[in-house]
Copies of this chain bind each other. A is one copy, B any other.
Amino acid sequence: MSLLDTNLSAFDPVTDPDQAERYLTDWPRDARGRARAILRPRSVEEVAEIVRLSAAEGIPLVPQGGHTGLVEGAVPSPAGNEVVVSLERLNRIREVDPINFSMTVEAGCILANLQAVAAEHDRLFPLSLGAQGSCQIGGNVATNAGGINVLRYGMTRNLVLGIEAVLPDGQIWHGLRKLHKNNTGYDLKQLFIGSEGTLGIVTAVSLRLFPRPTQVETAFLAVSDPAAAVALYGQARRDLSDLLSAFEIIQHFGLELAQEATPDLRHPLETTSSHYVLMEASASGLVDLSGLMQRFLEGVMEAGHVLDGTVAANTAQARTLWRFREDLVEGQARRGRHLRTDVSVPISAISAFLAKVDAGLTAAEPSAIPVAYGHVGDGNLHYNVLPPPGMAEADKPAFLKRCETVIYGALAEFGGSISAEHGIGRAKLGSYLKGLAPAEKALSEGIKRQFDPQGLMSPGRLFER
């Protein structure tokens, strides 16, 4: 039995070229790879068997979830030497334990389905991001996904109680605990979370759940500048007492892009401003959230911290406000090739960082069109750049690379990160390695060598090979 026998029906290989296509690209379609085979195991035992064969034959593997990654981590290498292991058939809910505020699910479960299952049990699984309709929880864990609720509930790392994974030697690691507290030895699951498939294949996870919010208040506010947004964030954290669940900043141009994608979106305020805040608070049970939000907004309006604002009167209005944030991504995409970044700085440095990048781009690339938005509470900014209209396609890659250099260059002064939530994959490998301290490089390489001495698990991601 060999992994290269594509008729190997035990692992449900994809052999039809049309069907294969979606396993060779990710959602952004920036890169297309080739694969030696595409396998779709149906159980952890089948995954283990594939890994054992891979180890015996020296064939590199790349595990794959919902194809929604943004850094080419799960796209097979263009060299065509990798076998894709899709986890999509491992999609059982193994257990929901609402009393323990936990559920245990397989890697291939789609995030939106998990949110729905939690809600059926009057619980919340708080991970929430644009790709939730197709991303899979195994990929979320492997990349330590972030999203819009991180300021309240943390990254995926904070939501994982236990992990089942196949190690690179084919052993199954049964680490599926569902304990909220367990302080016995090295917390090995932390290594798998965010390891981007380089240490093994996550096959199932136990997740933390929370009370299901029954009240949501959504506000859209105009502020004078990013500094005002940061000050407002601090006040919202305090006044709303940690019931704040999202706090996004959007530059005015972002609204225009959203309207390009969705022409019937009407500007929600009478005032236009350079920046807006989209914020959400949520609560369950007996809290009077509507009164709380009203008192908060009265206070900040009176104090002049916001210039104008509106609160959604119902769920439909809230959805519309969120469309400005969500549809600007589509509006960007319609403008063609552009630069997407995912940087983070301390919250206290957001304003200075944005000013520095604005000035740097104006000086170095005055024709660049910035689109800046992000999660204030996490210090996580998507400072993106569109090329000027009329630029030749052939010139865009070098232009966008120069813009990226300006943005990344500004990070150092603020102790920032080039990847707040998207990970490294293959797309950011060069920038990542350039900034990596020698001590961290040596420790990371040592861990990789120990787990995967043959270097067969997602090679070329996080490490040069």
A-to-B contact residues, CB < 8 Å: 97-102, 122, 143-144, 146, 150-151, 154-155, 157-158, 167, 171-175, 177-188, 190-191, 193-195, 210-213, 230, 234, 237-243, 283-288, 292, 295-296, 299, 344-349, 375, 377-380, 415-424, 432, 436-437, 439-440, 443-444, 446-447, 450-451, 462
Contacts and interface: CB of A to CB of B under 8 A. Distances in A.
23 contacts: A100-B347, A100-B348, A102-B346, A144-B183, A146-B181, A167-B443, A173-B443, A174-B437, A179-B345, A181-B375, A181-B380, A181-B417, A183-B421, A186-B443, A191-B191, A210-B242, A237-B284, A238-B284, A239-B286, A241-B243, A241-B287, A288-B288, A443-B450
A420 B179 contact: yes
A303 to B, nearest CB: 13
A98 B190 CA distance: 28
A462 B185 contact: yes
Contacts of A378: 180-181
A180 B377 contact: yes
B194 A187 contact: yes
Given A180-B377, A181-B417, A285-B296, 6 more contacts: A100-B347, A179-B379, A179-B417, A181-B344, A184-B418, A210-B237
B143 A154 contact: no
A303 B182 CA distance: 34
Contact of A292 (B191, B287, B296): B287
Contact of A211 (B157, B241, B344): B241
B348 A286 contact: no
Contacts of A287: 240-241, 243, 287, 292
A379 B99 CA distance: 11
A406 to B, nearest CB: 19
A240 to B, nearest CB: 6
Contact of A347 (B180, B210, B286, B379): B180
A210 to B, nearest CB: 7
A102 B97 CA distance: 34
A462 B188 CA distance: 14
Nearest to A428: B184
Contacts of A210: 237, 242
Contacts of A443: 167, 173, 186, 188, 450-451
Contact of A444 (B188, B242, B243): B188
Contacts of A171: 439
Given A171-B439, A211-B237, A379-B100, A447 B186 contact: yes
A379 B379 CA distance: 33
Contacts of A286: 239-241, 292, 295-296, 299
Contacts of A439: 167, 171-174
Given A100-B348, A187-B194, A181 B242 contact: no
